Amino acid sequence: AQSVSQHNHHVILSEAASLELGCNYSYGGTVNLFWYVQYPGQHLQLLLKYFSGDPLVKGIKGFEAEFIKSKFSFNLRKPSVQWSDTAEYFCAVNFNYGGSQGNLIFGKGTKLSVKP
């Protein structure tokens, strides 16, 4: 079965530190890739997405992610985090079968705590 793995359950950083959150998926075919963020008390929001083209995608609030097909990975990065980045981050994958896009499969999430 298809699966999405996020390696870090909880990451604690100080402001201005660099961030990298890992995400791997199990399927070897065509995929669409997403990172969603959930700020405390708020609903899931799209941070960035990859469908095709340049494997380095930029999202909101200075986040970026790189799709490495050979490693089945889509890691999220930010060069300098802020206290306001404290949130839970979810990697999600849409596995495509013959052009049909079904449901979105999520990882378990990584909680990011940024110390001021």
User: Which residues in this chain contact other proteins in the complex, by CB under 8 A?
Assistant: 4, 6, 32, 34, 36, 42-46, 49, 51, 90, 92, 94, 96, 99-109
User: Nearest approach, Cβ of 80 to other proteins (angstroms)?
Assistant: 26
Q: What is the token pair recorded at 67?
A: 């799709």
Instruction: State the sign of the Cα–Cα–Cα–Cα dihedral 67, 61, 109, 115.
Output: positive
- The answer for residues whose C-beta is within 8 angstroms of residue 3's C-beta and 6 or more apart is 25, 26, 105
User: Nearest approach, Cβ of 18 to other proteins (angstroms)?
Assistant: 24
Closer by beta carbon to other proteins, 51 or else 83: 51
